[in-house]
A and B are shown apart, each in its own frame.
Chain A
């Protein structure tokens, strides 16, 4: 196999100490069906370093209290840790102000918030929303719901057979009726990195507002919302090595200020009488109810951890693993990649002749290798490539070249079973 020939060269270039990093992840130390776990389902959710787990533990053991209202010691400590996490997120995304950082349950909630608060109050019948063919369902369905509510029309940027957006078609879709463009930074099903700076600039020339779904980007690359210039950017904590049930919506302050609340309740108000309510200032106006306090503080710890390694080092290692994986599994007879974009992250989607992705998933699982099989919540992508499902290996910085070798051996076993 070719993979063995290129391995030494690539290994020499790897900068971070992966074995030391792996030791930070308790879950990676286990065996599955008697074999060391190879976790390659990071695009679904990533594993958590001990530091994040300990942060949750110490919150509940030492300073569990509600935030923004108690005057006691524990509440002050919890409030300060929660707001520290907001500042960490601000720096992580390079937002201008913490008022622009809204904690939500995940990317899905962030997008729904924008659709229902911004979209529903601004859009009218005949207005146009542009998404793309490669979106995750969470960046399709909220806009379909909004279209039903307002009479707005959904337009879709098509993709080519490499799994890249066709920008000429996007240019044609833009026009005086375009109000909103919502596009993923990186495709979860294909790994494609979209040219979001260009997409945003093109939308702005037509006066449209842009939301970027950053669920897959946050774990892989530096995000700078000021440089991008988008109005909204959403990502999930659990894909960024943080707790599930946490996420972030960045929104430009001038827009957030004029948007109506998404949820009503405690914490989002200044004053309530039975006749009317004065809403709280940003970002609290959009954070009704007791949030996932422990989770948000844990997300702050996850960001510290990721930045401790450095996103440039992470991207460099992942790119080497991606190149290694692509060249190693490309030679497996009957294997075809779904998604071959020039600009992509370490997500490898593929199908195999005569072997359904679900069977690949089961056979790999019994060898201790976790991948994702199915439509990846991106059914329109499956339709484009005329497949019902794909097998997807998604790589994180804690994965190793040896684990890619295990994947290749596992895929050989799939062929053996179906010989």
Chain B
């Protein structure tokens, strides 16, 4: 059980069962759609901007516990961030979850609760589940139109 709990930490299980910021947004400034064709995970991301700040971010769709918890934790962390801060968080998260050895304590500290997702590093086939929402967010921030695919 020990190693499974590294992946399915209480925070993950909780955010999967009760995802935060879940639901669509009628007055979104930006939207993006993410899709993992291997497992069928699909999520829509909705952004409301206030100048260069993320005023609100929500998501809906369906997927495995890792993808839902990741989207829930990410949207929580992104609220109120400036676009530069959001980009920094994306970069920190990406470096840590892909096992970039040069990533250090600074990155881990900035991630806060998001570190709960780092257990996925030991499960290479599941990393895409955790990163799908992040790539979808980046696509929304950049205003791209195409569906984000993990493949």
Contacts and interface: CB of A to CB of B under 8 A. Distances in A.
Given A354-B17, A358-B39, A358-B126, A418 B65 contact: yes
B30 interface: no
Chain B contact-residue range equals 20 to 34
Interface string B4-20: 11011000010011000
Contact of B123 (A354, A355, A362, A374): A362
A86 interface: no
Contacts of B62: 388
Given A356-B64, A358-B64, A389 B40 contact: yes
A379 B5 CA distance: 31
Given A358-B126, A359-B64, A417-B13, A374 B40 contact: yes
A418 B8 CA distance: 8
Contacts of A354: 17
Contacts of A355: 65
9 contacts: A356-B63, A356-B64, A358-B64, A358-B129, A362-B125, A375-B40, A388-B40, A389-B39, A417-B1
B135 interface: no
A373 B5 CA distance: 21
A388 B37 CA distance: 10
Given A357-B39, A358-B64, A366-B3, 5 more contacts: A356-B63, A359-B66, A388-B39, A388-B62, A413-B4
B8 A417 contact: yes
Contacts, number: 56
A374 B41 contact: no
Nearest to A416: B1
A236 B148 CA distance: 34
A7 interface: no
Contacts of A153: none
A150 to B, nearest CB: 28
A382 interface: yes
A363 interface: yes
Contact of B39 (A363, A366, A374, A418): A374
B126 A362 contact: yes
Given A358-B126, A366-B4, A374 B38 contact: yes
- The 4 closest A-B CB pairs, nearest first, are A388-B40, A356-B64, A358-B64, A359-B65
B42 interface: yes
A382 to B, nearest CB: 7
Given A358-B126, A359-B66, A388 B8 contact: no
B51 to A, nearest CB: 37
A155 B123 CA distance: 42
